[in-house]
Structure 1
Amino acid sequence: MRPAGLPPLTSPEDLHAIERVPLGDRDLALTTYDLLVRAAQRWPDAPCSLWIPDPAAIEQHVTVTYGALLDRVHAIAHALHALGTGREDAVTLMAPNCGDLLAATLAAEAIGIAAPVNAALDVRHVAHLIRLTGSRVLLTAGPELDAPLWTRLLDSAAGLGIGTLVALPPDGQDRATAPELEGRPGLRTVRLDDLVDSGPPSPAQLPAAPPAPDDLAAFFHTGGTTGAPKVAAHTHRNQAVMAWSLAVAGGSGTGQSIVAGLPLFHVNALLVTALAPMVTGARSIWPGPRGYRDPDLYASFWKLVERYRPRAMSAVPTVYAFLAAVPVDADISSLEAPVVGAAPLPDGVRRAFAQATGVQLLEGYGLTEGTCAASATLPGDVRTGSVGLRLPYQTVTAAEIDEAGGRIRPLPAGETGELVIGGPTVFAGYLRRDGDRRRVCSDGVVVDGLLRTGDLGCVVDDRVHLRGRQKDVIIRGGHNIDPAVIEDALLSHPAVTAAAAVGRPDRSSGEVPVAFVSLATAQVTVAELLAWAGERISEPAARPKLITVVDAIPLTDIGKPFKPALRETAAARHFRDELAEGGIGAVEVGVAHENGRLTVRLTGPGAVGEAAAVLRAYDVDVRTGGDDVRTGGDDIRIEGADTRTARQEVQR
């Protein structure tokens, strides 16, 4: 059923028909606050979101209507205003998913600027983000929702420069049972409910003028696993237009549902599963504070689908890989639009999910700097090799970039180049700080209004085809190798459950491809896997030089393969072998990516100088002395660590 009031979008012809009406002539909400106000006026008593506190008890949930959400946003906005938050002030939000986290995010956007943060980040990266944004208020999980997180922030708040720490409750908590909060000298700790109670009763509007379309709405950080995270600035127009576009591209209609299991510090969670449903009056189902990161969810997931009858869900490929291995023990006929994005979708996962469920995955493409999505696969329009139709009012083009002159030359349809995106959802820029001055600038990532994505691909008939990530491309003797070619070949083996290919340093070729796999059975050998890949990869240069079996591919907090850890592990192992062959075995080798360069640190009692001379034949930075080696991101110790340890560190 097509949502009322939205133009049809089933083909490129529909896309062109939509764009014949100028965006400015459409009656759209252009701020996230106005989007919520309109939804609350149209469907005040309709469920906006269902919050399931415990995924092991899926029958129990807390329902929030559109009217109730607007009331809560008004109340929290007044509380934030009383703390000194104004239009230019950022509010840091760092907690597992819960109803008040969503309401607080929208309230922060309505009165100031929301700054969601991944709770798994190292404290020093949180400090970096807070310094950039200038936030002095931090909303986080109270001790009942996430005790370790609360304690960690309580102990580090002084170093973070935070003056007020606000505790969010778990969904369904009885306020009367909440104990008194622990405090620290010079730090105010307060429960959100108590903060709200100190404001005006049942405020019906914001305490200040509503935001304008071009006001900043949010600061979303990107990265944080290979260096200091960047902070992308979104305007209200960015987010509101994106929400409308996503709804047009297949959003669920009034009364329909979408499963929302990604963390709210990620743009997909906020845009796809929170804001887009507001355009049509749909509802979001939030399965537990940890969402898809909670292993307990998978045992009950199909029962959850049967119970709540969602039409859609949005997740990353690893989630669908896990679900494909869970027997379908329920009626899941309502599920028509399982949307996948944030990382390339392996063909093996696509096939396995379709075989297990009878439902095709709908792949999309986008990035934080584009506010979320640039293309989406429409139901019934799955095309092999395509990540969908570009979204309305966006341009997506493959281009050749003149790095010296900073010019962009569009390529003909079908030719591969760097994808560039234009339109109203291109972000305002990255956040920078010059002393006490905060500024937003594009730093060359936006050229002539076009966003450089760093992704390789082509566009044919308005459909986008990916050809790999520039920084993930393996360059062997000047020849570009798409790691997906290797990964897809390995994933086609029935024993392989996950695969990741990376480049390993090589003296003569610069890089050679190697792969890491996890297996469902120990019966297959590495030699058999090498032969399997060799038979299925037509290009000899792309055949992996080495395959390493690991317990699990390291993942980021939202389930993307964490390839820097694999590159570092592969490089460190190779360098150790290289030195051992030369009779240098006592030196310890640590590898990390620093400022885009592979860096080797040599320590130990052995012949450090001799080892450095050997390794300088590679295109790496070699350093000697010091203690251990850590990445610039999440303090992943590479020396003496396997990829399983790296994965645990990333997800802590």
Structure 2
Amino acid sequence: MTTDLLWPRYAVPTDLTTIEAVPLRDRGLPESTYALLTRAARMWPDRLALTILPDGARWRQPLQRSFSELLDDVHRYANLLHHLGVRRHDAVALMAPNCADLIPATLAAQLAGIAAPINAAQSPQHIAELLRRSGARVLVTAGPELAPETWEAAHQIAVSRKVDAVLVLRPTGAAGAPADLPEVDGVRIGYLSAMSADIDSSDFIGDPPRGFDVAALFHTGGTTGVPKLAAHTHDNEVADAWMLAANSSWDSDSVVFAALPLFHVNALMVTLLAPLFKGQGVVWAGPLGYRDPILSSEFWKIVTHYRIASMSAVPTVYAALAQRPVDADISTLRFAMVGASPLPTALIEKFQDHTGVPLLEGYGLTEATCASARSFPDAPRPGSVGVRMPYQQVKVVRVRDDGTWDDLPTGATGVLAISGPTVFAGYVAGHDEYGPVLDGMGRLVDGWLDTGDLARIDSDGFIYLVGRAKDVIIRGGHNIDPAVVEDVLLDHPQVTAVSAVGRPDAHAGEVPVAYVTVVADADITARELQAWASERVPERAAAPKAVTILPALPVTAVGKLYKLALRADATRRELEHALATVVGIDTIQASVEDGSILATVEIDGPAGEPTVKAILDRYAINWKVTVRT
């Protein structure tokens, strides 16, 4: 593996041509995430790999691990999993906030079997279903000291015999005797550190994974219905990690800051696997991540102290940091990355003007492992999420009703499709003697992935996202990009965050409405903001019919704006207005059901039922009426 082949120049978009002149298979990438880790431990055994902060208040008291120590931990934990019966095609569920032991436990799960991270914030029913779909019989989870609510959920899983073993994690740097753990007949329960203490750490006792083996099962979204499990192979993860690490702005001295939860692909790929390629140190936030208020207040001091060179976060984090005074020397911070959702131009400008740090947009999704497009500091293209990454191909297509695709020309808007070595192997549809049975479930067509995102690609290859196909506001057959409304409102000096969605309308199908948060001392009203936006949107159809000020916009566990919740709220508000004069209405609700909005109207008796149904029929929504007797 030569340095020249492994690290071509990758600083501007035009470098892609030269990079791809060498086939990816000739670049000598490690065969698996385990091989990637062993390479790092061999090349930089004593270099600092991990600096884990216990929490925001104790950021000066981290626990630290070198690359060789990290490999020892991974060997020890993987060998424990092997002793517990985990083999190559067996999943290991991991349900805990970030802490020192979760990092090597995740890598160990990929070494001994398949890692299946779970967001503990989901409902017990969803967690149980994800365990069933993954087939995991071993659960690595937070203990009572680290996350009491997560531990309680894990204990209930053990009591219900959904797993055979529960390996419990303590907080980073925990001192003193741990809390006693209850016994459950037929289920082995113990602290991971104690159960692995006497296990050999010199090597892995099982068969190491190969490139085509499944490395991880990531649940997609988790905000509606029961999330699907997307399968990543070791080839997928190593290739995408290399594409990220190949960035010429990253060198071996670049310290990376990590605070997103490890059940999200961004945390695994951008801040764990990619740094292994060049031996970069990573500073990990505590269990609350960016949601830790003390971490946020101390953030710029942390950047200075640890000489952070880059960071990865979601838009809501940068919106908050753009409001926080820069009270330290942050000259080491070369760039910040964002890619969870399209970022309004106004927010980019606010952050960069406030900090002087370039904010680089990217694009990716779980089904393409993580990252598929990136921006460049020296080749800005406002409004774009960048150009495709090496060895990945992109195009825009029209999806016909029968499921077939038509490729669209340069500049046309359609569904973004991706092909290449990072496209996932499929969703888990079942299990057989060879492990998970995978199915593209309509997302894969001849090796191309239907992203579900609307986009256009210009003549230079820059990708412009129009939005999720389901997020586009369709007013009387006219497509409205929510970003048109959001960008205008973000230009208002008292607005800190915006999300525009479609509200049901009896005449136009949908009309745009906006939800905003404002600065603490704001004196602006919702009506004034509506007027502000209406005067400035580029087209009359995009003028918001209403603006609602909220204390905070709803977000998912990883900080993505949760537009479905806002669409549900907009639906409820519209129906409350439409049904205001109907006698006998008891409650009006709108909820998210399997990715769509369901409106439910409860009435006190059958007399008003025909009137209610006649009004609801005017809207293109799912609804039901229940009669109280």
TM range (shorter): over 0.9
Q: Which residue of 2 aligns with 1:448?
A: 446
Where does residue 311 of structure 2 map in the other structure?
Answer: 313
Instruction: Name the counterpart of 1:424.
Output: 421
**More moved, 390-399 vs 147-156:** 147-156
What letter matches 1:315 in structure 2? A
Ranges in structure 2 where 5+ consecutive residues have no aligned partner: none
Q: Does the 8 Å CA contact 1:476/1:510 hold for their aligned counterparts?
A: yes
Matched, 1:565 2:562: no
Q: Any idea what SS the aligned residue of 2:45 has? A: coil
- Pair 1:572–1:434, CA change in 2 (3 A): farther
Aligned mates of 1:93, 1:306 — CA distance in 2: 32
Matches within 5 A, 1:256-275: 256-275=254-273
When normalised by structure 2's length, the TM-score is 0.95
CA distance in 1, matches of 2:147, 2:592: 32
Q: Quick check: 1:109–1:217 contact (8 Å CA) kept in 2? A: yes
Q: Which stretches of structure 1, 4 residues or longer, exceed 4 Å deviation after superposition?
A: 2-5, 434-438
- The equivalent position to 1:248 in structure 2, one of 241, 246, 249, is 246
Q: Answer with 529-538 or 359-368: which moved more.
A: 529-538
Contact 1:472–1:502, Cα closer than 8 Å, also in 2: yes
Q: TM-score, normalised by structure 1?
A: 0.92
C-alpha distance 122-595 of structure 1, shift in aligned 2 (>3 A): closer
Render the CA deviation track for 1:114-136: whole Å, top value 9, x for unaligned.
00011111111000100101111
Deviation at 1:157, TM superposition (A): 2.8
2:6–2:27 contact (8 Å) kept in structure 1: no
Q: Distance in 1 between matches of 2:323 and 2:161?
A: 42
Q: CA deviation at 1:564?
A: 1.0
Q: Is the 8 A contact 1:612 1:622 kept in 2?
A: no
CA offsets, 1:71-94, max 9 Å, x none? 111110110011110111000000
Q: Is the 8 A contact 2:230 2:366 kept in 1?
A: yes
**Which residue in 1 is equivalent to 2:363?**
365
Corresponding residue for residue 512 of structure 2? 513
Shift of 1:609: 4.4
After superposition, the Cα gap between the structure-2 partners of 1:442 and 1:78, relative to the gap in structure 1 and judged at 3 Å, is: same
Opposite residue 345 of structure 2, the aligned amino acid is D
The answer to whether 1:400 aligns with 2:401 is: no
CA contact (8 A) 2:144 2:179 kept: no
> Which AA in structure 1 matches 2:564?
P
Give 1:598 shift: 2.8
Report what 1:641 is aligned to. Answer: none
CA distance in 2, matches of 1:508, 1:428: 43
Aligned partners of 1:456 and 1:313: how far apart in 2?
27
Structure 1 distance, partners of 2:583, 2:248, is 60
The share of aligned pairs that are identical, in percent, is 47
Task: Report if aligned partners of 1:3, 1:252 keep a CA contact under 8 Å in 2.
Answer: no
In the aligned structure 2, how far is the partner of 1:188 from the partner of 1:546?
55
Q: Tell me if structure 2 keeps the 8 A contact 1:590–1:602.
A: yes
Q: Does the 8 Å contact 2:94/2:116 carry over to 1?
A: yes
- Structure 1: distance between partners of 2:287 and 2:623: 43
Pairwise CA distance, 1:469: 1.4
Provide closer, same or farther for how the CA distance between residues 485 and 160 of structure 1 changes in structure 2, counting only shifts above 3 A.
Answer: farther
Tell me, yes or no, if the aligned pair for 2:13 and 2:376 is still in contact at 8 Å.
no
Q: Structure 1, residues 46-68: CA drift from partner, whole Å, max 9, x if none?
A: 11111010211221111111111
Distance 1:580 1:137, change over 3 A: same
Q: Pick closer, same or farther for the CA change 1:484–1:441 going to 2, 3 Å.
A: same
Change (3 A) 1:297 1:207: same
CA distance in 2, matches of 1:380, 1:428: 34
Shift of 1:263: 0.4
Q: How does 1:608-647 map to 2 (within 5 A)?
A: 608-625=609-626
CA distance in 1, matches of 2:49, 2:352: 29
Change beyond 3 A, Cα 1:160–1:445: farther
Whole-Å Cα distance in 1 between the matches of residues 53 and 4 of structure 2? 26
User: Paired residue for 1:190?
Assistant: 190
- What is aligned with 1:51? 52
Query: Which residue is 2:456 aligned to?
Result: 458
- For 1:409, the equivalent position in structure 2 comes to 406
What does the per-residue CA deviation read over 1:453-476, in whole Å, with 9 as the maximum and x for residues that have no partner?
111112232222212211100111
TM-aligned CA deviation for residue 100 of structure 1: 1.2
The alignment partner of 1:511 has SS state of strand
Counterpart of 1:538? 538
Deviation (angstroms), 1:204: 2.1
2:340 match: secondary structure: coil
SS where residue 166 of structure 2 aligns?
strand
Give, in whole Å, the separation in 1 of the partners of 2:282 and 2:419: 29
Shift of 1:216: 0.3
The one-letter code sitting in structure 2 at the alignment partner of 1:419 is L
Cα distance between partner residues in 2 of 1:331 and 1:12: 31
2:528 is matched with: 528
Corresponding residue of 2:600: 601
Partner deviation per Cα, 1:415-468 (whole Å, 9 max, x = no partner): 221110000000001111379984210011011100011111122322222122
- Does residue 61 (structure 1) correspond to residue 62 (structure 2)? The answer is yes
**2:16 counterpart of 1:19:** no
Give the conservation status (yes or no) of the 8 Å contact 1:250–1:379. Answer: no
* Distance change in 2, residues 1:525/1:383 (3 Å): same
CA displacement, residues 244-272 of structure 1 (integer Å, 9 cap, x when unaligned)? 00011346322321100100000000000
State the match for 1:503 in structure 2.
Answer: 502
- Structure 1 CA distance for aligned equivalents of residues 248 and 273 of structure 2: 14
Corresponding letter in the other structure for 2:492:
H
